[in-house]
């Protein structure tokens, strides 16, 4: 695929995503407005404030305007890169999110990488040794892995590896007392990353291994696999050159689809492990009714999902000539 | 016949079906001389494709497996019981295979040049792989070979796809080409062109060809000799000319009678009844339930293949003059 084709496809998908993202913002904004409660109560606190003061605060933040007007103002602001002001943190929302984003990306991408490597690996092994003890074991592992709630798994991991065996830290993203430097800092980060990343990835290891196994088994029955073997191809060639390539599209789609859920799952995992990321920020902003932060994070989540699907589309196009030259 | 290129004796192929062994090829023997064009004809489900897969011990389903017999190839080498790694070195290098549907036997994600080159690379071709691929595409009469190597299967016509598959099968200069219904999925005009190509390749390269088809018309156009297969067994074999002139087995007679011909105006003949299921083949001669001249012996005793003149036939009544025109009285 030439760079021109690639750029054109990317542009087309990005333009198509604009109404989708606007729709997401509108729906999120409206849903939150429909929910009971008022951020001013959270802001002022439980003190019995004079009604005049409450009105003054509401007017200050524009909360006394009709909802459509508030929505219009919000969209206008977001369009200009202003995500609003956090009531609870008394800080610019954009600034707040940018502060927290790197930690979340580190956790998420590590969890996704673990899920992809282990999921695809286990799926291939299970498909290659169909109906063997290994295959049955993988299936059992997948079913268990898929059914276990991640926040519960997180707590069990803390109990076993942090409190019980005292092997790994359970809270935070790095050592705060005597922070190491250089390569030692990287290793220190890995130690903090291990438990939350594994807890977050387990469900997706299960999902991806199942889809890899099913997709590969289906492709292995294809006529072109038989033709390749009849040509005398080694099994390694059959698997790498033909089977995995053809089995890849559903796996890639599933990974892109999971991306949104990993983001959502990180809200719980970050809370359990005290991880200083967007997930915990979302959790906190929900309990504090910090609406601007909530809508902004949800906007980021939907942008993430759109981006993940765009990458999946580009991957499909790179892989399948029928997609790029129909 | 000189030393045969391929000598198959009593080949058996079984399918494992819900814990039971079902025999789909039941003692097939056939021989192909070097450079000979041999046909294997029969109805769908008679086991002709399974016979072909059995020769190279490669099956489309893991349920199928060799259940007996010997396959002796060029130079007296036994192919049955060969370890997988050794068998792989023969597949594609000494025995090429072409299949029915060029649309599904090419990998949709790879350029055809890559798939032809695969046959060369996997057998550690000593020469220039790219040059050989271009040479093969030229040999297959694919227009503009330099451009065609980078084409994907969906960008080619059905006929060109089949040519690409034949090119891949012939890449390593095999001594035998097994072609399993190579024209069935193609338009009639393309069919003729592919058959022409096969005939020319056989002449030009001196390869032996085993052509598997249900179409006697295809056999008549191409083959030196024919084996007629019914329900997992060979029922008759002969030179093509003799088989069409004097078919001995009632089944062969029926097949020839059922061939569409422009000079015949009457309704198309078809052999009554159906091919028996391999789960429960009839006792005795497997054709007897559909045979108009079956006698008591046919139901109890399976006929052996008996040689005569240039051919052989497996029928208890083959030497009975009445058996020469089995279907004339009962023509549908």
Chain B residues touching A319 at Cβ < 8 A: 109
Q: What is the pLDDT of residue A42?
A: 64
What are the residue ranges spanned by the domains of chain B?
Answer: 6-223, 246-325
* Cα A29 → chain centroid: 21
Q: Is B245 exposed, middle or buried (0-12, 13-18, 19+ CB in 10 A)?
A: exposed
pLDDT in tens, B78-128: 988 889 899 999 999 999 999 888 889 999 999 999 999 999 999 988 889
- For A235-270, write each residue's pLDDT tens digit: 989 998 999 999 999 999 888 888 877 877 788 888
Predicted complex ipTM exceeds 0.95: no
A260 in any annotated domain: yes
Phi, psi (rounded to 5 degrees) for B295: -120, 175
Question: Is A216 among the domain residues?
Answer: yes
Q: Is the pLDDT of residue A271 over 50?
A: yes
The answer to whether the Cβ–Cβ distance between B106 and A224 falls below 8 Å is: yes
| Residues of chain B contacting A128 with CB distance shorter than 8 Å | none
**CA–CA dist A226, A256 (Å, integer):** 31
Q: Which two tokens stand for residue B30?
A: 């056939």
Q: What pLDDT, on a 0 to 100 scale, did the predictor assign at position B12? A: 93
* Minimum-distance CB partner of A322 among B105, B154, B169: B154
B172 Cα distance to chain centroid: 21
Determine whether the interchain pair B99/A241 forms a contact, defined as Cβ–Cβ distance below 8 Å. Answer: no
In whole angstroms, what is the distance from residue B171 CA to residue B126 CA?
12
B250 token code pair: 């009632």
**Average pLDDT over every residue of A306-323:** 85
User: What distance in Å separates the CA atoms of residue B128 and residue B133, rounded to the nearest whole number?
Assistant: 9
- Within a domain: residue A43? no
pLDDT in tens, B261-281: 777 667 778 888 888 888 888
pLDDT tens for each residue of B203-215: 888 899 999 998 8
Interface contact flag, B104 A223, Cβ < 8 Å = yes
CB contact under 8 A, B93 and A234: no
Q: What pTM was computed for the model?
A: 0.83
From the list B90, B97, B152, the residue facing A321 with the nearest CB is: B152
CB A219 within 8 A of CB A246: yes
| Mean pLDDT score, A194-199 | 85
Three-class secondary structure of residue B67 per DSSP: strand
Under 8 Å between Cβ of B227 and B237: yes
Q: For residue A76, what is the domain's CATH number? A: 1.10.3720.10
Report the phi/psi class of residue B269: left, alpha or beta, with left for phi > 0 and alpha for psi in -120 to 50. Answer: beta
B82, B105, B164: best to mutate for the A interface, most A CBs within 10 A? B105
Question: 3-class DSSP state for residue B269?
Answer: coil
Domain presence at residue A53: no
Segment (H or E) for B71? strand B64-73
Interface check for A324 against chain B (CB to CB < 8 A): the answer is no
Residue B174: closest C-alpha in chain A: A231
With a CB cutoff of 8 Å and minimum separation 6, the contacts of A149 are none
Task: Give the DSSP H or E segment for A34.
Answer: helix A3-34
Number of other residues whose CB lies within 10 A of the CB of residue A47:
7
Structure tokens at B112: 């055809």
The Cα–Cα gap between A63 and A231 comes to: 72
DSSP state of A241: I
The parent domain of residue A254 ranges over 3-32+65-324
Distances (CA, A) of B258 to A280, B19, B43, B313: 78, 38, 12, 20
Asked if the Cβ–Cβ distance from A242 to B110 is below 8 Å, we say yes
- The answer to whether residue A230 neighbours chain B at the CB level (below 8 Å) is yes
**What is the tens place of the pLDDT at every residue in B32-90?**
999 999 999 988 888 889 999 999 999 988 889 999 889 999 888 898 888 989 999 99
Q: What is the mean pLDDT of residues A195-199?
A: 86
Least confident of A42-51, B46-55, B229-238, B255-264: A42-51
Question: How distant is the Cα of A233 from the closest Cα of chain B, in angstroms?
Answer: 5
- Percentage of chain A exceeding pLDDT 90: 14
In chain A, residues with a C-beta closer than 8 Å to the C-beta of B113 are: none
Measured distance CA(A249)–CA(B82) in Å, rounded: 37
Q: How far apart are CA A169 and CA A191, in angstroms?
A: 7
Query: Which residues make Cβ contacts (< 8 Å) with residue B123, sequence separation at least 6?
Result: A232, B89, B92, B93, B172
Nearest CB partner across the interface for A227, out of B56, B105, B172:
B105
Q: How many domains does the structure of chain A reveal?
A: 1
> What's the start-to-end Cα distance of chain B, in Å?
40
pLDDT range class, residue B31, cuts 50, 70, 90: very high
- For chain B, where are the alpha helices, taking DSSP H only? 48-55, 84-90, 112-122, 129-139, 145-148, 158-170, 188-205, 216-222, 240-245, 250-257, 296-300
How large is the angle between the packed helices B158-170 and B188-205, nearest 10 degrees? 20
Where do the H-state alpha helices sit in A158-243?
183-220, 223-230, 235-237
Compare all CA atoms of chain A with the CA of B119 and give the residue at the minimum distance: A231
Q: What is the DSSP string of A3-31?
A: HHHHHHHHHHHHHHHHHHHHHHHHHHHHH
Torsional class of B216: left (φ above 0), alpha (ψ -120 to 50), beta (otherwise): alpha
Check residue A326 and give its pLDDT: 58
Beta-strand relationship, A91-92 and B95-98 = unpaired
> Is B56 an 8 Å CB contact of chain A?
yes
DSSP state, A238? I
Nearest-CB residue to A230 (from B92, B154, B171): B92
B299-327 per-position pLDDT tens digit: 888 888 888 888 899 988 888 777 777 77
Task: Say if residue B332's pLDDT is above 60.
Answer: no
Structure tokens, B111: 């350029």
Residue with tokens 């994907």: B152
8 Å CB contact between A87 and A246: no
Domain for residue A42, yes or no?
A: no
User: Which pLDDT band holds residue B235 (cuts at 50, 70, 90)?
Assistant: very high
pLDDT tens, position by position, B164-183: 999 999 999 899 999 998 88
Report the CATH number of the B6-223 domain. 3.40.50.300
Q: Is A34 on the interface with B (CB under 8 A)?
A: no
For residue B329, what are its two tokens? 């009285």
Residue A198: both structure tokens together: 């594994």
- To test the contact with chain A by mutation, choose from B83, B90, B109 the residue with the greatest count of A C-beta atoms within 10 A, namely B109
Do the beta carbons of residue A286 and residue A271 sit within 8 Å?
Answer: no
CB B36 within 8 A of CB B239: no
Q: Which residues of A touch B152 (CB under 8 A)?
A: 321-322, 325
A228 interface with B at CB cutoff 8 Å: yes
**Residue A255 pairs with which residues in a beta bridge?**
none
What's the rounded mean pLDDT across residues A89-115? 87
Select from B104, B154, B155 the Cβ nearest to the Cβ of A224.
B104
Chain B residue closest to A233 (CA)? B122
């Amino acid at each position: 695929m030439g760079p021109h084709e690639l750029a054109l496809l990317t542009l087309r998908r990005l333009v198509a995503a604009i109404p989708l993202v606007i729709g997401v913002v509108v729906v999120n904004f409206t849903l939150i407005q429909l929910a009971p409660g008022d951020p001013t109560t959270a802001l002022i606190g439980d003190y019995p404030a004079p009604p005049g003061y409450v009105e003054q605060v509401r007017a200050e933040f524009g909360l006394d305007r009709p909802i459509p007007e508030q929505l219009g103002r919000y969209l206008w602001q977001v369009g200009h890169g202003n995500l609003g002001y956090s009531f609870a943190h008394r800080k610019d929302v954009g600034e707040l999110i940018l502060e927290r984003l790197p930690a979340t990306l580190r956790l998420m991408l590590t969890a996704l990488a673990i899920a992809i490597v282990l999921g695809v690996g286990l799926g291939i092994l299970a498909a290659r040794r169909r109906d063997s003890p290994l295959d049955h074991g993988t299936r059992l592992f997948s079913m268990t892995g898929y059914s276990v709630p991640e926040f519960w798994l997180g707590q069990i991991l803390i109990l076993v590896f942090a409190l019980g065996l005292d092997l790994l830290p359970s809270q935070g993203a790095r050592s705060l007392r005597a922070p190491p430097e250089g390569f030692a800092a990287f290793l220190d980060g890995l130690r903090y990353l291990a438990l939350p990343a594994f807890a977050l990835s387990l469900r997706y290891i299960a999902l991806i291994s199942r889809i890899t196994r099913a997709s590969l088994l289906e492709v292995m029955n294809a006529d072109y696999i038989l033709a390749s073997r009849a040509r005398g191809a080694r099994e390694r060639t059959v698997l790498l050159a033909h089977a995995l390539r053809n089995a890849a599209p559903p796996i890639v789609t599933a990974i892109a689809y999971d991306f949104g859920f990993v983001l959502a799952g990180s809200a719980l995992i970050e809370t359990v492990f005290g991880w200083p990321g967007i997930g915990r920020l979302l959790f906190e902003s929900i309990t504090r009714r910090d609406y601007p932060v909530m809508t902004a994070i949800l906007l980021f989540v939907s942008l993430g999902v759109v981006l993940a699907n765009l990458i999946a589309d580009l991957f499909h196009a790179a892989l399948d000539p029928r997609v790029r030259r129909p | 016949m000189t030393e045969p290129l391929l000598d198959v004796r009593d080949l058996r192929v079984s399918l494992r079906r819900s814990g039971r062994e079902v025999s789909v090829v039941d003692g097939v023997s056939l021989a192909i001389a070097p450079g000979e064009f041999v046909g294997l004809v029969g109805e769908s489900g008679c086991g002709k494709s399974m016979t072909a897969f059995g020769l190279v011990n490669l099956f489309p389903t893991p349920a199928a497996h060799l259940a007996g017999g010997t396959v002796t190839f060029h130079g007296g080498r036994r192919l049955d019981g060969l370890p997988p790694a050794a068998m792989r070195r023969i597949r594609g290098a000494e025995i090429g295979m072409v299949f029915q549907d060029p649309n599904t036997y090419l990998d949709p994600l790879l350029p055809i040049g890559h798939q032809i080159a695969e046959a060369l690379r996997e057998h550690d071709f000593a020469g220039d792989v790219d040059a050989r691929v271009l040479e093969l595409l030229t040999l297959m009469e694919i227009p503009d070979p330099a451009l065609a190597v980078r084409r994907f299967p969906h960008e080619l016509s059905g006929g060109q796809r089949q040519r690409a598959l034949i090119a891949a099968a012939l890449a390593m200069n095999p001594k035998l080409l097994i072609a399993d219904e190579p024209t069935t999925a193609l338009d009639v005009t393309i069919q003729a062109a592919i058959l022409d190509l096969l005939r020319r390749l056989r002449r030009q390269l001196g390869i032996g060809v085993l052509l598997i088809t249900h179409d006697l018309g295809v056999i008549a156009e191409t083959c030196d000799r024919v084996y007629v297969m019914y329900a997992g067994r060979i029922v008759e074999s002969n030179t093509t000319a003799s088989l069409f002139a004097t078919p001995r087995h009632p089944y062969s007679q029926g097949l020839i009678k059922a061939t569409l011909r422009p000079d015949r105006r009457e309704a198309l003949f078809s052999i009554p009844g159906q091919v028996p299921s391999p789960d429960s083949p009839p006792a005795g001669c497997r054709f007897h339930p559909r045979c108009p001249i079956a006698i008591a012996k046919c139901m109890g005793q399976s006929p052996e293949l008996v040689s005569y003149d240039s051919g052989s036939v497996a029928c208890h009544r083959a030497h009975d003059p009445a058996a020469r025109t089995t279907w004339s009285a009962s023509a549908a």
